[in-house]
Structure 1
Amino acid sequence: MKIWDMLKGGALRETRAADPSWDALTGGAGAATASGMHVDAKSAESLSTVYACVQALAESTACLPLHVYRRTDAGDRERADGHWLSRLLDSPNDYQTGMEYRESQTAAILLHGNSYARKELNGAGEVVSLQPMHPQRVTVVRLDNGRYRYDWTDDSGKVHRLLADEVLHLKDRSEPGSIVGKSRIAIARENLGLALALRKHGANTFSRGRPSAVLLNEGKRDFTTEELKTISERLEYFASAGAGRVMNLPRGVKWENIGISNEDMEFIAAQQFSVADICRIFRVPPVLVQDLTHATYSNVDRLGDYFVSFALQRWLTCWEEGISRSLLGPIARQRYYAEHQTGGLLRAQPKERSEFYKTMIDAGVMDAGECRKLENLPQRDVDAANAS
């Protein structure tokens, strides 16, 4: 090991970002919180709001078309579908499609702060496969020469040491001087611990049950044990099989429903607050996680625009720049690049899409053929069609 490090630039002292063997025992970056709940990526994702936020970002990123383009000498660009990078993005490995790979890797960044994939190259130096590595099994080591190494522990417990050039590493925001992304789950651990505690409290309350009504004895005598037993048996019958029937109560006994208490109202309000609090962590509008509390007919579209501009764009740029930096060489990236086609977000809005095309055609920015291409329609002779 020491000889190998000296040949690579030398490092007898190492700085480790994490220990994968310890992570395997402790469940990653999990820790206890002030609420008494243990929070890690697994427990956090069990919250429906966290799961919905992660899926909203991961699914949207993965489902957008991702194309490879070639810069022409005239300053224009053209699709390079035959390029090896385009084939790699469509089929990154033998068991995942391009959509499945990008969805799982984006979710890994959101939950763990980092995603790692081992690059496999052919004899021509082209990347032919991307093999995902679980973030909890990867240790980032900073060597004395300033370079980085990735230690990955496989399923059998064997540690593989990979150079930085052998790994596609995408990450969330990192600290200055570090290339390891910070987990949003770890940063907001206390907020998520409170949400988990609220869920546990609600589950325990409903599991024990609580009476929905009480019987008030307004009479002037106490009931005997046999009478109380008869009343209890009658209540149990109507609770299980007597729905919709009339129950006769003894003289002097009054039925009184128990409404929602102030404590219950505070619990419901706290649950609603936790939804908005989690959405802030991922910068996802609550309407996208099925919280329509503050949604109106007029602001839903604006919230969708906000999601694309201020939440989704960060992850699209992360993928585009990561692909350029890690998968293309210095010379190739001057000619080729990958870019998402965000117009795919308008597919479910035919009215807005048609108005956009009409405006672009009237302004001379696009022609009908280009619009048909964006709609995945076959090319046709536009002049002949207009003449007919």
Structure 2
Amino acid sequence: MPKPPARPRSPRRAPAKPRKASASEERFISVLGTLLEPSPFGRLSASDVTPEVAVRVSAIFAVCRFIAQGVGVMPIQIGRTLPNGRKERFSPPCSYTIRQRPNGWQSRFDFMTLQAYWTALHGNGFARIMPGSRGFMTTLVPMHPTRVSVQQLSDYAISYKFLEANGQWSPLRQDEVLHWRWMSENGIWGMAPSEICATSISLARQLDIAATAFWKNGARPDFLIKTAEKISDPAIAELREQFRQMYGGNNRGAPGVVSSKVDIVPMQSNTMEQSQYQELRAAILPDVCRHWGVPSTLLGDAKMARYSNVEQEHLSAQVWCLLPWQHRMEGPFDMALQPVYGEDVYVKLDSRGLLRGDNASRAALYQSMFNMGSITPNEIRDLEDFDLIDDEAADETFMQLGFSTLHAAASQAEASSSDLLAMNEVPDSSYEDVQEAGGFSVGQRVYWDGGDGVIEHLMVDGVLGVEGSPFAITATMDEPAASVRVYQDDQPTEFTVGKRVSDLSDAPAESDGDSA
């Protein structure tokens, strides 16, 4: 019996050989030793996140910028606490260094912004204290956190080492360095926020790299040109170029005309994938803001912004974000100044400029403070950056007419030996009004020591005022009494005062200069 024909065998494939890396393939290595692979997606893990990598994420940079500039715009004030608890301005020789020019190449804003930026990104900020013509703190030289080493000695003092440009380490004492720290586990070295939220940063960085690769390598046209006829390759290229010139660029959206044998087939894009990608990228910002305590709405998170919560978001940023940073930046200055100028000296960052309301709100506040005598006109002008008034009255406090202290009211009552009768108060019924008495008449302008007014009531028999009051005046034919409407600046006031007629005069008293 003949054997069946053998079945044909498919040809064997050679085993795949591992791909060798090209000799020209680039490998990028950061200065801190982080390896970033040349793949557009890379393999960036949480352990590879450094401050230099983290700041490339737009949300990280926005958070650090917000904190740094928020601290930088706060003016610096130096004060001293008095034994009675009050506080006053203090201007030591180093005041110019701290408040205006820390060094020869930076302004106060540049210096404070840099230190806050370093602290927000690296967890630490350093400045070297250099002595000179303004005492022990004449110049403040910034030192990058990656070039500083910190160590605690056996006596709990802190020693520093700074890597100079020539590669040598310079030892520094604790009183020669200003050290700003973020949150710390040991109180010596601040933790880097980029390491704390490395997972979020790694995800955000991967999304950025993926977006770049998508737009660089994506090959998804808007439509296809379909025809039943066979077209050569040169004709295809020519047709494609004609469509690009006629309907591309500035002509995009213009009506198109094709032959009857050509169809235009639109490409359905993956809208669901794109929307998920956008949502994932949008979630990065609030996640990053959560680590630094910055409201995401102040960094462009329109999804959480509401018209009703704008003001509260600004207050929240001041209380829960910038206020802790304000105290963080004040601390190293206090520790440097107090051993030299005393424990009662302090440095304060003035955040009132960040809390300024609109014009109407500020005007209402100034008016209330001025009416209660707690602020002078020149202090109001200084807060609004106006020129001060060269008048002594502009440096005095004022109160509304009718307001007075308890001490002043008691002194006035004792000096006049009378009761202040409220406006429209009905005189006591134990006397009868007369039109004339003691050479004076009702409606006459009279004067006394320290005041003037117009007589409203005259009496010659009875009690003027509340009977039984220590300030009541008993009137007789020999000693008439009068109820006088008090005037101020030739205008009647709401007060009346009881006076004996013998204490009144029909003309103002002459001054010593006039009598001479």
TM-score, normalised on structure 2? 0.63
Q: How does 1:61-100 map to 2 (within 5 A)?
A: 61-80=71-90, 82-89=91-98, 90-100=100-110
Report the residue type matching 1:287 in the other structure: T
Q: How does 1:42-191 map to 2 (within 5 A)?
A: 42-80=52-90, 82-89=91-98, 90-122=100-132, 126-175=136-185, 177-191=186-200
State the match for 1:374 in structure 2.
383
State the match for 2:292 in structure 1.
282
Higher strand proportion: 2
Deviation track 1:297-319 (CA, whole Å, cap 9, x = no partner) reads 22111111111110001111012
Matched position secondary structure for 1:149: strand
Distance 1:31 1:230 in 2: 46
Report the CA distance shift for 1:144/1:383 in structure 2 as closer, same or farther (over 3 A).
Answer: closer
State the match for 1:345 in structure 2.
354
Deviation track 1:175-196 (CA, whole Å, cap 9, x = no partner) reads 0x34100010111112111111
Report the residue type matching 1:357 in the other structure: Y
Distance 1:49 1:34 in 2: 21
Report the CA distance shift for 1:348/1:58 in structure 2 as closer, same or farther (over 3 A).
Answer: farther
Report the CA distance shift for 1:367/1:261 in structure 2 as closer, same or farther (over 3 A).
Answer: same
TM superposition shift of 1:236: 2.9
CA contact (8 A) 2:122 2:192 kept: yes
Matched position secondary structure for 1:181: coil
State the match for 1:311 in structure 2.
321
Matching of residue 236 in structure 1 with residue 244 in structure 2: yes
State the match for 1:326 in structure 2.
336
TM superposition shift of 1:382: 7.3
Higher relative contact order (CA 8 A, sep 6+): 1
Report the CA distance shift for 1:27/1:326 in structure 2 as closer, same or farther (over 3 A).
Answer: farther
Report the CA distance shift for 1:28/1:147 in structure 2 as closer, same or farther (over 3 A).
Answer: farther
TM superposition shift of 1:41: 1.5
Distance 2:385 2:213 in 1: 53
CA contact (8 A) 1:28 1:136 kept: no
Report the CA distance shift for 1:27/1:184 in structure 2 as closer, same or farther (over 3 A).
Answer: farther
State the match for 1:20 in structure 2.
none
Matching of residue 224 in structure 1 with residue 239 in structure 2: no
Q: How does 1:8-47 map to 2 (within 5 A)?
A: 27-28=31-32, 35-36=44-45, 38-47=48-57
Across the aligned residues of Structure 1 and Structure 2, the Cα RMSD in angstroms comes to 2.9
Distance 1:145 1:69 in 2: 31
Report the CA distance shift for 1:348/1:210 in structure 2 as closer, same or farther (over 3 A).
Answer: farther
Distance 2:130 2:237 in 1: 76
Report the residue type matching 2:140 in the other structure: L
Deviation track 1:115-136 (CA, whole Å, cap 9, x = no partner) reads 1111112489632111111100
How many residue pairs were aligned?
Answer: 358
TM superposition shift of 1:259: 4.3
TM superposition shift of 1:35: 4.5
TM superposition shift of 1:276: 1.3
Which protein shows a greater Rg? 2
Distance 1:289 1:295 in 2: 10
CA contact (8 A) 1:368 1:382 kept: no
Q: In structure 1, list runs of 5 or more residues that go unmatched.
A: 1-24
Matching of residue 248 in structure 1 with residue 257 in structure 2: yes
Q: How does 1:357-372 map to 2 (within 5 A)?
A: 357-372=366-381
Distance 2:110 2:86 in 1: 31
Distance 1:103 1:29 in 2: 28
TM superposition shift of 1:48: 2.0
Matching of residue 294 in structure 1 with residue 304 in structure 2: yes
Deviation track 1:194-248 (CA, whole Å, cap 9, x = no partner) reads 111101111111112443422274x7x4643356445433333333574354332
Q: In structure 2, list runs of 5 or more residues that go unmatched.
A: 1-28, 37-41, 399-488, 490-516
Residue in structure 2 matching 1:354, options 356, 360, 363: 363
TM-score, normalised on structure 1? 0.82
Report the residue type matching 1:166 in the other structure: E
Report the CA distance shift for 1:314/1:261 in structure 2 as closer, same or farther (over 3 A).
Answer: same
Deviation track 1:344-375 (CA, whole Å, cap 9, x = no partner) reads 11457333322322333344443433322322
Matched position secondary structure for 1:253: strand
Distance 1:355 1:44 in 2: 45
Report the residue type matching 2:161 in the other structure: D
